[in-house]
Chains A and B, each alone.
Chain A
């Protein structure tokens, strides 16, 4: 990835240059967004739907209605934690595509133990322990591909994809056989009472998972861009051979990256359960991680940009869910929009590189 190499040295850029850089980044990010909306609007026209009224409705529901915006902000929490997870991994050159399983394993263990703990310890203690459990089991699930990559050189794309299938099945086996709520006939875990869940933000229904997610993304961004540890990870990601020559312990760093990344993914599952859902039903898989992968790419692994894209995606997905019922456009349409966005972004990057090459920079 050219991004990871190019921003290793720009930590202390001159202010004027930095300002021009910010405008450039904004133009490079917002231009493709606009182009993608125009292109998907054309598809809506083909489906004989007025794009202005469709997007008007989607943004009206997802952003400008009180219930909609609260749902959007609540959904952002787990998505932001996944963004943090992916930024760490991708910046370190590790393609962790197993976020969905890490998310679910974390969610299932948090859902299994928190309702039991709540009866014996103070609520805040149970919630903290539940989050620690989810992060711990998420990280544990990430350790297998970590060791295979670090010590046996196995490509992590294949192992994380496999751990994904394995984890999805394991999660539903655990829900159906081990952590089953004896009080219900539906296969699901015990439900955490609403009053024992993560506190909501001042008088709204927004889960405080949002704050946890924001803190995580910003912390990850800071660590990756401003600390020696982050620099080490980026060197490993940019050129593992050079990292070995520089005396970095590449295998240990690889394992650390996996543990952090999978831990955030597990925590994301925990926050989704403890803040919003309260239990895990059998075969539940929101596949958030696969939706966040393109968003993190769109953000070019930048934490601030990731917050923006996660917000946009949450608005679109909440809005399109109600638009599906009202306007007859299925919410798969969001998938098409995101795909177009990715391709347009790739093209913008290509043209940008061509222009720089021609200018001889």
Chain B
């Protein structure tokens, strides 16, 4: 267990500014020709930046903003049909126009890259050792195999893989996502590159693993002294890590500057909106988020003028006439592409001034005491084990996965319970067990007073009506072959809604979730992610349920869109008096929307309580670590925070440790004496009340501690 102070990446900022730039990009344009008669896609339109040795540059933007395409261009990895113009120089040498062979000698040697998805990034049929050896030997053909193998083991050690010599012989599928990303970093730093481009390196990972990987990247930078280009959509990650940053929108940088300037002296409304729409871990009040209206423009048919103008609340006619240039708006190279930037500076406008803040009332239920309200869901000692199978061809059972192992909680009417935990902790399994209405393997589930597994078919059908679900992926939760009307009407028809009132009801529902009822005749593919999620919510609300189960409802959406959906959910709860079971891995979102929070780890709940208590004064070491790992989008705060970085991965749910399941990774356990450790080793702690406001933690040594 390590506790590190997150200073900015370089230690002393002065050194970053010295020396010639390693990588310089100027006026880069990338265009993908459209198929057939479709128009060209102008993915990148004039990107320029430079990085020096030891400097960390952040590139921030939502999906489709061109941030990845520009870095792929720097690596020369764009498909052949892409048209690239401008200039990309490495140590002053022009890279654009080099053929594949010449480019190969640079790639992986002077300029390296870490990609987003570690699960598919390694060739499944070679051992990780061989893949690192390949990276070493392709640039040092004279190096002996033995020497390269030694180097591979050494690299695995640097990126923090335990038992590197032995693990080098393992195949990628035997590694967890976080471990694979470490291997990818080992490959990237194999030849001491001068620039490492990291394309969303932690997006696919859990927060505690993200914290580890960011540490590894910093260590790698110390090791190689390389410049790092960090591409991400996460404003928290950028805040604590980078020196300078570039905000991209519709293929162009719209605001560039030192990280503090961009965060505290924001001059571009888009950046403001981005910062305003992020749910924050470090703010107490339950204020609505500030969504940016609309969707990013299509890169194949850009409107004239500023591409952000259609979504910008302060856009004028002038904004729509001509696309603004990036202009100096402050000291230290702070530039913004907004004609109203001087005005913003003069008036000292912030996000709250630019964006209207939505308002909605308070739920009527929340005025009555929790104990007096009806319990809509009561889960008691729920157990779900399933067999662990191995091999695709020679399949056989090799053990039991203890996916859910004694989970208890309840939800009162009009309440939102946030169920949080990292992937593999059993939160989705818990949810599926509740929704199946089958008799659980152990424990009980009572929905609206009726017990799962004891209901008759008719009763079960009636409960289905009152409990509805919204899923994570707006792509796969709507049947692509059905019209929106049929999708929303399906639950109504199933439950015998009269046909003549159907259309009116569907229109009403679409209106309720903020969609135009005139669009009912379209297919889901014609809508954006946020709109699709709204269709899913309309379907779930069709039967006027009392409990809505939400399985990561916003995690597939971009932040600016996410804010709108969160606001919608909050408003619906108030208007319709709904209860939510809100499953998520993003604790910032949960803090924003939940009344109570349950934290899961390896099939058990380790802490449960009021949202303020869990976030303000968590008692379980796991909750503390989880909260501490989340970066806050505030550079000063982030630099001052100390992160608890957990060691190792989540243990396999098929082979949980004895006693307390969190013990092997627990920072508290590490500091205990032999005698004190005995209960942790032998007894699995139960959820025990800490004596105040329904708060309980499952730790032998529970003790509150503020970490945000």
A joins B in a complex: no
Instruction: Report which A residues bind B (CB closer than 8 A).
Output: none
Instruction: Report which B residues bind A (CB closer than 8 A).
Output: none
